[in-house]
Amino acid sequence: MNAELSELMKGRWGIEHRTYAWQQCRYCGAAGNDHPPAKCLACGSIQCQRDSRCSICLYGVVSGFSLGYPRPVCGYAHCGKEPIARAPRVRWVCTDHLSRPSLTIAGQKISLTDYIGQRVDERDGTRRSSYPRIVRFIWMS
Ligand SMILES: [Zn+2]
Ligand SMILES: [Zn+2]
Ligand SMILES: [Zn+2]
């Protein structure tokens, strides 16, 4: 087993969910079988391979998804690198340019890197959300 695969098998961030009588993914609660594990390329959170958008940082790209054809590249001029996150205005952004875009949340400007950091803190419960918490993340090994 390669290192990347063994990391994915250690556990993942799941979502607190209701349980129903039908078959559900143990981690995210979606109807159907367990999703395979995957990693967000921006915040590093291991999670279900359910959506190309990270359920924790909301902007990161989850590994293993096709982002369409032709393959999108970082939207900054003359970059052309593989994107690891979505971003306002430029659409896609690579590792090198992750701190460039800024978001406006409740009238406050915040860099994409800082926003992702805050979401990770919320995941870990080290930061109190200023909004009602909609999703609770649980580490499941
Ligand atoms: Zn799932
Ligand atoms: Zn993420
Ligand atoms: Zn770039």
Q: What is the pLDDT along the chain (141 residues), one digit of tens a residue?
A: 688 889 999 999 998 889 999 999 999 999 999 999 999 999 999 999 999 999 999 999 999 999 999 999 999 999 999 999 999 999 999 999 999 999 998 899 999 999 999 999 989 887 666 555 667 889 998
Element of type H or E holding 105: strand 102-105
The pLDDT value given to residue 132: 59
* Cα 66 from chain centroid (whole Å): 15
- Ligand in nearest proximity to the CA of 25: 1
CA distance 108 to 24: 38
CA distance 98 to 93: 6
Ligand 3 centre to CA of 85 (Å) is 10
What are the backbone angles phi and psi of residue 6, rounded to the nearest 5°?
-70, -30
Environment of ion ligand 2 (residues, CB < 5 A): 40, 42-43, 54, 56-57, 60
Q: pTM of the predicted model, to two decimals?
A: 0.90
Ligand 1 centre to CA of 12 (Å) is 10
Ligand 1 centre to CA of 79 (Å) is 34
